[in-house]
Amino acid sequence: MPTIRIKGMSCQHCVGSVTKALLAIDGITKVTIDLATGEARYEEEKPVATASIKDAVAGIGFEVT
């Protein structure tokens, strides 16, 4: 499972927003986020460009580090 690190999440609401944004990307089927570490893991049914993920996360006010 690919893992990314996201900066700026402070509560479960942030986790929910990021999860929703990632799941909205075509190809991503499952998202698991650890709020304590800021790590997000996802499953993809086809290759998803890192740029798409960065854009989606930036679009809701967080940053992929």
Q: Give residues in contact with Cu ion (CB under 5 A).
A: 10-11, 13-14
Q: Is 13 helix (H, G, I), strand (E, B) or coil?
A: helix
CB of 51 to Cu ion, least distance (A): 25
Answer yes or no: are the C-beta atoms of 12 and 19 closer than 8 Å: no
- Reported residue count of the chain is 65
> Which residue's CB is nearer to Cu ion, number 14 or number 56?
14
> Which residue's CB is nearer to Cu ion, number 13 or number 46?
13
CB of 27 to Cu ion, least distance (A): 26
